[in-house]
Structure 1
Amino acid sequence: MATVEECRAAIGTVSERIAKLDPGDRRKHIVERTVSVTVSDADTVFDMRLTGDGVRDVTQRGTDDPGERADVGVTVSSDDLVALAEDRLDAAKALLGGRVRIDANFSDLMRLRKLL
């Protein structure tokens, strides 16, 4: 099981990857959204804003704290979150295999698909 610090670093890695994308692609596929990442085996939720520049305003809370409802919700284990960030786990296979669950509206899912 990855630590909470490793999970936070994984989110940072994803943010850096987004920032390195072509600016035109970012504008085309990323619309500012609130995102919550529930790390199921660490009883932790990371709340953040997804922007064209990457991930911003990352905060952490326990799963027992309901928090605000995010536009996009992701549920993943700590090890899978780290593996996704390090490109050791294919995002599409993880989704199809049930290792990652995404709760979002259809248009957000289509945008995410382009980024994966």
Structure 2
Amino acid sequence: MATIEECRSALDTLAANLAKAEGAVRDATALERSLSCHLTDLDVTFAGKLAGSSIQDVVTVPGVPRQKAQIRLAMTGDVLVGLVGGELNFAKAWGSGRVRVQASLRDLLRLRSLL
């Protein structure tokens, strides 16, 4: 089971990767939206904002925050680490229910290039 520190490191890596992305990925992440990732096995949520093609102002919140983000992800810590590390494919993990995504249809369509 991944630790909170390993998950935070994976999230930092993801943020760095998004910041240097180009083309369709950069365009997809040019949204300005609140973002959260609830780690179900650790019962902790990383919450921040997607802005300027990067993830910013990330805080760690115990449990599920009362204020719902515009884009919400839920998964286990191992899945987060596996996705960022390239061992897991996001579309397959989402399709199998290992990753849950809640967002507006417009945001999902815009983010589809990340899948």
TM-score by length of 2: 0.92
Match of 1:104 in 2: 103
* Matched residues, number: 114
Identity of aligned residues (%): 39
Q: Equivalents in 1 of 2:25, 2:77: separation in Å?
A: 28
Match of 2:79 in 1: 80
TM-score by length of 1: 0.91
Q: How far off is 1:67 after superposition?
A: 3.2
Q: State the one-letter code of the partner of 1:73.
A: R
RMSD between superposed Cα atoms in Å: 1.5
Task: Check if 1:60 corresponds to 2:56.
Answer: no
Q: Equivalents in 2 of 1:105, 1:23: separation in Å?
A: 23
Provide structure 1 residue ranges, at least 5 long, that are not aligned to the other structure: none
The SS at the match of 1:98 is: coil
Q: Equivalents in 2 of 1:11, 1:25: separation in Å?
A: 17
Match of 2:42 in 1: 42
Q: How far off is 1:92 after superposition?
A: 0.3
Provide runs of 4+ in structure 1 moved above 6 Å.
none
Provide structure 2 residue ranges, at least 5 long, that are not aligned to the other structure: none
Match of 1:11 in 2: 11
